Structure 1
Amino acid sequence: MKESVLVLLTVALGAVLGSPVAAQTKQPALIDRELLFGDPETSGAQLSPDGRFMSFIKPYKGTRNVWVKGVAEPFTAAKPLTADLARPVRNYFWSRDSKYVLYVQDKGGDENFNLYAVDPSAAPPAGADVPVARDLTGLKGVRVQLYHVPKSDPNTLYIGLNDRDKAWHDLYKLNLATGEKTLLRENKDRLQSWSFDWNDQLRLASRANPDGSNELLAVAGNTFTPVYRTTIDEQSSVAGFHKDNKHVYLVTNGGRTRDRAELVLFDPATKKEELLDTDPQKRVDFGGLMLSEVTHEPVAVTYVDDRMRRVWKDKAYEADFKTIQAKVPGADLYPVSSTTDERLWLVSATSATMPGTVYLFDRQTKALTKQYDLRPKLNAADLADMKAVRYKSSDGLEIPAYLTLPKGVAAKNLPVIIVPHGGPWARDVYGFNSLHQFLANRGYAVLSPNFRASTGYGKKFLEAGNGEWGRKMQDDLTWGVKYLVAQGIADPKKVGIMGGSYGGYATLAGVAFTPDLYAAGVAIVAPSNLTTLLNAIPPYWEAGRKQMYARMADPGTEAGRTELARMSPLTAADKIKTPLMVVQGANDPRVNKAEADQIVVALRDRNYPVQYICAPDEGHGFARPVNNMAMYAASEKFLAGQLGGRYQESMSPAVAQRLKEITVDPKTVVLANKANQALIK
Structure 2
Amino acid sequence: MSPSTIAPTARTRPPARAPHPPWWRTALRDALIMALLCVCARAHADEAAQLRAAVAVERARSPAPSYTRAEFLARPALLGAWLAPDGRSVAYLLQGERNRGVWLLPTAGGAPRRLLAHTEADTLSWSRDGRWLLLRSAQQLYALATAGQRGSGAIAKLGGRWERSFEAVDPVLPAAAIVLESPPHVSRLPKRWRLYRVDVQGRQTLLHESAREIVDSAFDSDGRLRYLTLVEGEGYTLYRKDGVRLRVAMRCTRLQRCSMLASDSAGLWLTTNADHGYLRLAHLGEDGALRTLHADPRGEADLDQVVLDPQSGQPLIASYRSATAANYGLTAQAQGQVAAIERRYPGRNLRIEVGRGAGARWLVHERAGSQKGERLHLYDPASGGFREVLADAGFRHGRDTVTRIAESSLARKIAFSYRASDGMRLHGFVSVPPGVDAARAPLVANVHGGPFNLTRPEFSAQTQLLANRGYVVFEPNFRGSTGYGLDYMRAGRGDFGNGRVQQDIVEGVRYLLAQGIGDGERVGIVGASFGGYSALQGVTFQPELFKVAVAAVPPADFGWVLRSYARSQDQFSRGIPMSATMRALALDPADPAIAERLRAQSPVANAQRLRRPVLLLAGGDDERVPIRSVLHYAATLRTLDKDVSLFVDAGGGHQLVDPRTREAYLFLLESMMHRRLGGAAPRAPDAQLRAHLRKNLRLAGPDLAPLRAATGASTAAAGAR
Shared fold per TM-score greater than 0.5: yes
User: How far, CA to CA, are the matches of 2:588 and 2:153 in structure 1?
Assistant: 44
Contact 2:64–2:435 under 8 Å retained in 1: yes
Contact 1:47–1:54 under 8 Å retained in 2: yes
Q: Which residue of 1 aligns with 2:136?
A: 103
Answering whether residue 54 of structure 2 is matched by residue 16 of structure 1, we say yes
Answering whether residue 576 of structure 2 is matched by residue 543 of structure 1, we say yes
Letter matched to residue 324 of structure 2: R
Q: Which residue of 2 aligns with 1:218?
A: 240
Alignment partner of 1:146 out of 160, 166, 170:
166
- Residue 10 (structure 1) shift: 3.2
Contact 1:160–1:169 under 8 Å retained in 2: no
Label 1:365 to 1:481 Cα distance change in 2 as closer, same or farther (>3 A).
Answer: closer
Q: Which residue of 2 aligns with 1:357?
A: 375
Alignment partner of 2:451 out of 387, 399, 424:
424
Q: Which residue of 2 aligns with 1:676?
A: none
User: How far, CA to CA, are the matches of 2:553 and 2:223 in structure 1?
Assistant: 40
Q: Which residue of 1 aligns with 2:78?
A: 42
Answering whether residue 273 of structure 2 is matched by residue 264 of structure 1, we say no
Once the two structures are aligned, what percentage of the paired residues are identical?
A: 23
User: How far, CA to CA, are the matches of 1:287 and 1:94 in structure 2?
Assistant: 21
Aligned 1:600-615 pairs, distance under 5 A: 600-615=634-649
Letter matched to residue 68 of structure 2: D
Label 1:548 to 1:194 Cα distance change in 2 as closer, same or farther (>3 A).
Answer: farther
Contact 1:33–1:438 under 8 Å retained in 2: yes
- Residue 437 (structure 1) shift: 1.7
Letter matched to residue 92 of structure 2: F
Q: Which residue of 1 aligns with 2:225?
A: 202
Compute the RMSD of aligned alpha carbons.
Answer: 3.5
Letter matched to residue 247 of structure 2: T
Q: Which residue of 2 aligns with 1:276?
A: 293
User: How far, CA to CA, are the matches of 1:531 and 1:618 in structure 2?
Assistant: 23
- Residue 472 (structure 1) shift: 0.5
Contact 1:197–1:240 under 8 Å retained in 2: no
Label 1:637 to 1:161 Cα distance change in 2 as closer, same or farther (>3 A).
Answer: farther
> Which secondary structure does the structure 1 equivalent of 2:264 belong to?
coil
Contact 2:124–2:136 under 8 Å retained in 1: yes
- Residue 408 (structure 1) shift: 1.9
Please give the TM-score of this superposition, normalised by the length of structure 2: 0.79
- Residue 320 (structure 1) shift: 3.4
Answering whether residue 488 of structure 2 is matched by residue 461 of structure 1, we say yes
Contact 2:310–2:356 under 8 Å retained in 1: no
Label 1:45 to 1:190 Cα distance change in 2 as closer, same or farther (>3 A).
Answer: closer
Letter matched to residue 272 of structure 2: T
Alignment partner of 1:317 out of 306, 315, 334:
334
- Residue 442 (structure 1) shift: 0.8
Alignment partner of 1:236 out of 257, 276, 295:
257
Cα deviations by residue, 1:164-206 (Å, 9 ceiling, x for unpaired): 3369882342646566776655553244333444544333333
Cα deviations by residue, 1:453-509 (Å, 9 ceiling, x for unpaired): 122333332221121112111000011121122223222232111122322222222
Q: Which residue of 1 aligns with 2:10?
A: none
> Which secondary structure does the structure 2 equivalent of 1:419 belong to?
strand
Label 1:619 to 1:98 Cα distance change in 2 as closer, same or farther (>3 A).
Answer: farther
Q: Which residue of 1 aligns with 2:604?
A: 570
Alignment partner of 1:253 out of 273, 277, 282:
273
Letter matched to residue 382 of structure 1: S
Contact 1:451–1:473 under 8 Å retained in 2: yes
Answering whether residue 312 of structure 2 is matched by residue 300 of structure 1, we say no
User: How far, CA to CA, are the matches of 1:603 and 1:368 in structure 2?
Assistant: 58
Answering whether residue 89 of structure 2 is matched by residue 58 of structure 1, we say no
Q: Which residue of 2 aligns with 1:675?
A: none
User: How far, CA to CA, are the matches of 2:686 and 2:82 in structure 1?
Assistant: 32
User: How far, CA to CA, are the matches of 2:192 and 2:67 in structure 1?
Assistant: 45
User: How far, CA to CA, are the matches of 2:167 and 2:125 in structure 1?
Assistant: 13
Alignment partner of 1:434 out of 461, 465, 483:
461
- Residue 446 (structure 1) shift: 0.7
User: How far, CA to CA, are the matches of 1:325 and 1:553 in structure 2?
Assistant: 41
Cα deviations by residue, 1:45-74 (Å, 9 ceiling, x for unpaired): 2235566754334332268x3431443554
Aligned 1:546-565 pairs, distance under 5 A: 546-565=580-599
User: How far, CA to CA, are the matches of 2:292 and 2:105 in structure 1?
Assistant: 44
Label 1:141 to 1:521 Cα distance change in 2 as closer, same or farther (>3 A).
Answer: farther
- Residue 646 (structure 1) shift: 1.3
Contact 1:388–1:403 under 8 Å retained in 2: yes
Contact 1:417–1:445 under 8 Å retained in 2: yes
Contact 2:432–2:467 under 8 Å retained in 1: yes
> Which secondary structure does the structure 1 equivalent of 2:527 belong to?
strand
Q: Which residue of 2 aligns with 1:582?
A: 616
User: Which stretch shifts more, 406-415 or 149-158?
Assistant: 149-158
Letter matched to residue 520 of structure 2: P
Alignment partner of 1:156 out of 168, 172, 176:
176
User: How far, CA to CA, are the matches of 2:301 and 2:271 in structure 1?
Assistant: 13
User: How far, CA to CA, are the matches of 1:348 and 1:476 in structure 2?
Assistant: 33
User: How far, CA to CA, are the matches of 1:458 and 1:472 in structure 2?
Assistant: 18
> Which secondary structure does the structure 1 equivalent of 2:47 belong to?
helix
Letter matched to residue 83 of structure 2: L
Q: Which residue of 1 aligns with 2:515?
A: 487
Cα deviations by residue, 1:387-407 (Å, 9 ceiling, x for unpaired): 222222232222111111112
Label 1:623 to 1:119 Cα distance change in 2 as closer, same or farther (>3 A).
Answer: farther
User: How far, CA to CA, are the matches of 1:340 and 1:425 in structure 2?
Assistant: 41
Label 1:533 to 1:135 Cα distance change in 2 as closer, same or farther (>3 A).
Answer: farther
Gaps of 5+ in 1: 106-113, 124-130, 673-681
User: How far, CA to CA, are the matches of 1:596 and 1:183 in structure 2?
Assistant: 47
Label 1:369 to 1:610 Cα distance change in 2 as closer, same or farther (>3 A).
Answer: same
User: How far, CA to CA, are the matches of 1:132 and 1:640 in structure 2?
Assistant: 55
Answering whether residue 216 of structure 2 is matched by residue 193 of structure 1, we say yes
Label 1:192 to 1:609 Cα distance change in 2 as closer, same or farther (>3 A).
Answer: farther
User: How far, CA to CA, are the matches of 1:642 and 1:91 in structure 2?
Assistant: 43
User: How far, CA to CA, are the matches of 2:687 and 2:94 in structure 1?
Assistant: 22
Label 1:565 to 1:263 Cα distance change in 2 as closer, same or farther (>3 A).
Answer: same
Answering whether residue 435 of structure 2 is matched by residue 405 of structure 1, we say no
Larger radius of gyration: 2
User: How far, CA to CA, are the matches of 1:413 and 1:439 in structure 2?
Assistant: 15
Contact 1:12–1:388 under 8 Å retained in 2: no
User: How far, CA to CA, are the matches of 2:161 and 2:640 in structure 1?
Assistant: 38
- Residue 29 (structure 1) shift: 1.4
Contact 1:101–1:120 under 8 Å retained in 2: no
Label 1:617 to 1:68 Cα distance change in 2 as closer, same or farther (>3 A).
Answer: farther
Letter matched to residue 619 of structure 1: G
Contact 1:631–1:659 under 8 Å retained in 2: no
Q: Which residue of 1 aligns with 2:633?
A: 599
> Which secondary structure does the structure 1 equivalent of 2:363 belong to?
strand
User: How far, CA to CA, are the matches of 1:667 and 1:122 in structure 2?
Assistant: 62
Contact 1:344–1:361 under 8 Å retained in 2: yes
Alignment partner of 1:639 out of 673, 681, 692:
673
User: How far, CA to CA, are the matches of 2:161 and 2:717 in structure 1?
Assistant: 29
User: How far, CA to CA, are the matches of 2:474 and 2:41 in structure 1?
Assistant: 24
- Residue 307 (structure 1) shift: 0.8
Letter matched to residue 94 of structure 2: K
Alignment partner of 2:307 out of 276, 280, 290:
290
Contact 1:594–1:671 under 8 Å retained in 2: no
Cα deviations by residue, 1:315-340 (Å, 9 ceiling, x for unpaired): 33343344445544543432147578
Letter matched to residue 247 of structure 1: G
User: How far, CA to CA, are the matches of 2:627 and 2:163 in structure 1?
Assistant: 20
Contact 1:169–1:192 under 8 Å retained in 2: no
User: How far, CA to CA, are the matches of 1:329 and 1:613 in structure 2?
Assistant: 42
User: How far, CA to CA, are the matches of 2:462 and 2:331 in structure 1?
Assistant: 36
